[in-house]
Amino acid sequence: MNLPALDVRALSYAYPDGRPALFGIDLLVERGERCALLGPNGAGKTTLALHCNGILRPASGTIHVGALPVEEPHLSEIRRRVGIVFQDPDDQLFMATVRDDVAFGPANFGVKGSELDDRVHGALHAVGMEQFADRAPHHLSFGQRRRVALATVLVSEPEILVLDEPTSNLDPASRRELAEILHGLDTTMLIVTHDLPYASELCDRVVILDAGKVAADGPIDAVLGDDELLAAHRLEWPRAITRL
């Protein structure tokens, strides 16, 4: 039986102050699929993303990564399989050097010696940052730090890559460089974004989340080509961008 990469069923969640955030979310992401998660501010997109590897736990409903439920006994393996790249790279970079930051995750999973060195080199090579291995992260540009943050996830060889607003605060060159890197990865992706052109470039499917509920789910061209649907959920194309 070929199980989906990610299987979310009837997931509901409320913030610690009691405010409801997600209402009965169903979401299947197949292996190898690239799915954009779109929606206005406050829709619950990041909240849903943080459930994918157990950072947040649902009030009700279930989440499976392959055959594994996202539950306490499996969280270490779940977090190896599902890598989340946060919107602010400084949330993931805290060691003295780039090399140390990238090595931190697999070292905690017990990887050591030459295997660890090879993994770190491979992850930095994948994001074009191997020449900065001995640099302090805070001496890098924002775009470079975002690529290193991606490397800290790729080094653990995840099955699913979750990216939260990957283009925020990137200049055009850094945005293009990141897109080229993501195009070259053979990994299931869930991309949380407001950036419709980026979603159309990288993804084959769109899920729109609004007010904590799935409002639309379909092929990229059908969803992003529906002006009324986009307007209803406060999504729009930049004026200078040619439409699908």
The dihedral formed by the CA atoms of 85, 10, 14 and 50, expressed in degrees to the nearest 10:
-10
Mean pLDDT of the residues in the chain: 94
What is the model's pLDDT at position 243?
A: 53
**Kind and range of the H or E element at 218?**
strand 213-219
Distance CA 232, CA 244 (A): 19
pLDDT tens sequence across 86-124: 999 999 999 999 999 999 999 988 899 999 999 999 999
Domain range list for the chain: 6-232
Q: DSSP per residue over 5-53, as a string?
A: SEEEEEEEEE-TTS-EEEEEEEEEE-TT-EEEEE--TTSSHHHHHHHTT
Q: What is the pTM of this model?
A: 0.93
CATH dotted code for 6-232: 3.40.50.300
Beta-bridge partner residues of 188: 160
